Chain A
Amino acid sequence: MAYPTDRKYTKEHEWIQTSGTTAAIGITDHAQDSLGDIVFVELPKLGAELAAGKTFGTVESVKAVSDLYAPASGTVTEINADLAISPEKVNKDPHGSWMLKMTLKNAGELDSLLSAADYEKFVAEEGGH
């Protein structure tokens, strides 16, 4: 799996894609593959404040429950309502299925995140695919 180079990644297997001061967040292909069939995505409300490194939601597959960690701090401006009805879209298109969008508090936080190449290496070292 080639990871898109237009975004940054976390060691908790989220991706973050910025466009100006706005950023979209989702989970990686490796994450969806380890979880298996995703059946439930729980996201914060509009206007919620996310703090970098803190949990902001939950994703559940048939067999597992996983916390979602914010790659950066910001204020939620949009929720992907589609995922409440069709959570399996995260399995089918993980890098196209953003979960939420937010206004970034401090774009500098992204500097410490992984590039696509570094993330791919990290996953390989972790014993992933």
Chain B
Amino acid sequence: MSSVEATPAVNTTTVRKTALNAVHRQMGAKMVDFNGWDMPVEYPAAIGCGIINEHMAVRTGVGIFDVSHMGDIRLAGPQALAAVQHISMNDASRLAVGQAQYSALLYPQGTFVDDVIVHRLGEDEYLLVINAGTREKDFNWVRDNTRQFDCAVENLSDDFTQIAIQGPKAVDVLQKLTDADLSAVKFYWVTRGTVCGLRNTLIARTGYTAEDGFEIYVPADETTSARVWNEVLNAGKEFGLLPCGLGARNTLRLEGKLPLYGHEISDTINVWEAGLDRFCKMEKPEFVGRAALEKAKTEGVKRTLVGLEMTGRGIARDGYKVLDGGGREIGYVTSGSPAPFLKKNIALAYVPPEFAPLGTEVKVEIRGQSVAAQVVPTPFYKRPKKTA
């Protein structure tokens, strides 16, 4: 048996570690190289973990993730808003203090530098949370493209241990550990409070799991990080909390059709192709990439991102070819996996627009065989609306 990871590891000379690395190893996590970071992919079956159980914990209860490999860029100063507006495609002027939005940094050609969450922390203070694999690129890009503004740009990526507490019970777990009133924090809003005794901790009701949840930002020293991690684990025991790795993080975000850089979005894919129109505010008079997107809009897209469900027996994986009924290659899978909660084999794929209508029958080439798939509505999974 020889194993091929569905997501290939990137070879880098120095592997970076988060402050929780020793904790993950102690817990027996299976570690992988993720964009140059030594990260847990899943925790051991012996403690009730494994990708499927971790995934289900987040959908039905609660899970915690070390997401300290994500980067953080702070923009502050009189022209911070103007700077953010210039470099991001969503409309940051709509943000109240304490509010966050999904957005993206674009190249002049309308393709992606990265996707980001923009948090408005103060009157003239914004925090961009960016991807691990693009930290340096993003920071340099932000710094270089905001020089004309009266605004300081700081890379805070190494300052925080970022812990995501995700799932319908996340609020119950975190509420045990903080004096902040979490019921007053809406989805995509932030607050500050004492968490595990740490004053003024940033608490954001955000995540990458298509579930309710929080991300907390605590000091990046190993002792504090390990203490907070363990306090969350203990507080979550009564709710069946599980530690979760990048494996479950990927299947959770895929069910929710949340894009992953290098897969659904990249420097060769534009906003229209990725279907992120609703986060791109063309009514803003100016931002990097706008002119190209204006032009691209009139030309129309040659490919579009669709959701596929395998109707034949087989699992579509990243990079597999998508074929039409006659066996002609029409596109490729950007992310494909078994979906543990939906119990189906699902994929996201780029295909020409004529293959995008719901119900369209296509094939995915799996080890030389054409396996049937169908275009289905996305997101594949939507969390139930709260009735309370």
Contact = CB atoms under 8 A, between A and B. Distances in A.
Nearest to B32: A63
Main secondary structure, interface of B, reads mixed
Interface in A52-106: 58-69, 91
A48 B13 CA distance: 45
B26 interface: no
Contacts of B337: 62-63
Interface stretch (B4-12, B94-102, B133-141, B289-297): B4-12
Given A65-B3, A67-B2, 16 more contacts: A12-B1, A14-B1, A34-B3, A34-B30, A36-B41, A36-B247, A40-B315, A40-B338, A61-B51, A62-B247, A63-B6, A63-B42, A63-B247, A66-B1, A66-B2, A67-B1
B45 interface: yes
Contacts of B3: 34-35, 64-66
Interface string B207-225: 0000000000000000000
Contacts of B321: none
Contacts of A66: 1-4
20 contacts: A12-B1, A13-B1, A34-B3, A35-B3, A36-B41, A36-B247, A39-B338, A40-B315, A59-B1, A60-B315, A62-B51, A62-B52, A62-B251, A63-B5, A63-B6, A64-B5, A65-B6, A66-B3, A66-B4, A67-B2
Contacts of A91: 45
Nearest to B339: A62
A61 B51 CA distance: 9
B51 A37 contact: yes
Main secondary structure, interface of A, reads strand
A14 B3 CA distance: 12
Given A63-B6, A68-B1, A39 B315 contact: yes
Which of B2, B42, B45 neighbours the largest number of chain A CB atoms within 10 Å of its CB?
Answer: B2
A75 B337 CA distance: 32
A83 to B, nearest CB: 13
B367 interface: yes
